[in-house]
Amino acid sequence: MEAVAKSTNWQADLALDFAPRAGKTRLIASQRRGPLTVQRAFYPEGNVSHTYLLHPPGGVVGGDELNININVQGGGQVLLTTPGATKFYRSAGPQALVKQSLHIADGATLEWMPLESIFFPATNAAIKTEVHLMANAKFIGWEMNCLGRPANGEGFAMGTINSDFACYRDGKIVLLDRFATQGESMMASPVGMRGFSAQSMLVATVSDESLIRQVQTMLAGYAPKIWAGASCVDGLLVVRVLAHQGQDMLLLLVAVWRLLRPVIMERQAEPPRIWAT
C-alpha cells in the first residue's frame, strides 16, 4: 500500500490525565478530537496502569496533525504503548505533524513504550516530543523509526523526516536530540544512518554509573548486527540504536528496559500483554 486516499486530513487531539485513586492509577480525565483514543486500562501488576494508545486506523498522511498530551499526577504509575506500528505514508507535498507532550509530576512514573513508526518512501513527516519531569519524577521512554520497507525491497530513497526529542527537568532543558534525514543521501552516510534502515533512542532517569556500565556491556554484545551506544547526560541515560530490522531493535530496547526497570521503577519487568497478540 503506497498511499492512503482521504477526502480530509486528520486534525486529532488527545489529552489524558492520570492520578492515583483507591490503590490504582486511574485515567481521571480525558479529552479527544478525531481518531486518537485509548483502550480500557489493564492492571497486570497491581496499581500500574497499562494503557494502549490507538492511532488513526488508516495511518498518517501529509497534512495530518496529531497532538497528544499526557499528564501523570504525583504518585501515578503509567505504562503507555501502542498495539501496533504507526505508518506514515507517502506525501504529495504537505507535511504530517505529530506533537507529543508528556508531563510527569514529582513522585510519578511514566513508561513511554510505543511500537515503531514506519515511514514509507516519499514520506514528509515531523515528530516533536517533549518530556517534562518534575523533581523526583521517573521516566523510561523510547522512540523507534523504521525507514522504507526493506523486506519489500523499498529503501528510503525519497522523503523527509524531522524528529525532535526534548527532555526538561523542573522547566530547564537537559536533553535535545534531533534526528533528520532527507532521501537516500543520509541513509548511507557515516554521519547518518550508516547503511541501516531503523533508528531508535531510549531515555531513562538514571545516573547510577554501575547500571550505565551494565547497559554498555549489554549493548556491546549486539555488534556488529546492531550498532548501539549509551551515555549519561545530566542524570539521564541515553541509548541510541541503529539496526537493519525493527523487530531486532525492539528486542534490544526491551532487554535494556528489563535491566533498568527493577532499579528505576522498583518493580520487575511486565511486558504489555498486547505485544503477545
Domain edges within the chain:
11-276
66-125 pLDDT tens trace:
999 999 999 999 999 999 999 999 998 899 999 999 999 999 999 999 999 999 989 999
Strands (E), the chain: 11-21, 24-33, 37-38, 49-54, 65-72, 77-81, 86-88, 96-104, 109-113, 117-119, 123-133, 138-147, 159-169, 172-182, 198-205, 227-233, 236-243
Q: What is the pLDDT of residue 106?
A: 98
Antiparallel, parallel or unpaired: β 138-147 and 198-205: antiparallel
In this predicted structure, the answer to whether residue 4 has a pLDDT above a threshold of 60 is no
114-159 pLDDT tens trace:
999 999 989 999 999 999 999 999 999 999 999 888 777 777 778 8
User: Hey, CA dihedral for 39, 9, 148, 1, is it positive or negative?
Assistant: positive
In this predicted structure, the answer to whether residue 31 has a pLDDT above a threshold of 80 is yes
Q: Coil, strand or helix: which one is 202? A: strand
In this predicted structure, the answer to whether residue 1 has a pLDDT above a threshold of 50 is no
In this predicted structure, the answer to whether residue 241 has a pLDDT above a threshold of 60 is yes
Q: What is the mean pLDDT of residues 172-183?
A: 89
Least confident segment among 3-7, 35-39, 178-182, 262-266: 3-7
Residue 265 contacts residue 257 (beta carbons within 8 Å): no
Give how far the C-alpha of residue 248 lies from the chain's centroid of Cα atoms, to the nearest Å. Answer: 16
- Rounded CA-CA distance 219/227 in Å is 8
Q: What is the mean pLDDT of residues 28-46?
A: 94
Q: What is the pLDDT of residue 5?
A: 42
Whole-model pTM over 0.85: yes
Q: What is the pLDDT of residue 34?
A: 92
Q: What is the pLDDT of residue 183?
A: 66
Closest by CA to 96, choosing from 124, 69, 138, 129, is: 124
Identify the residue with better confidence: 189 or 21.
21
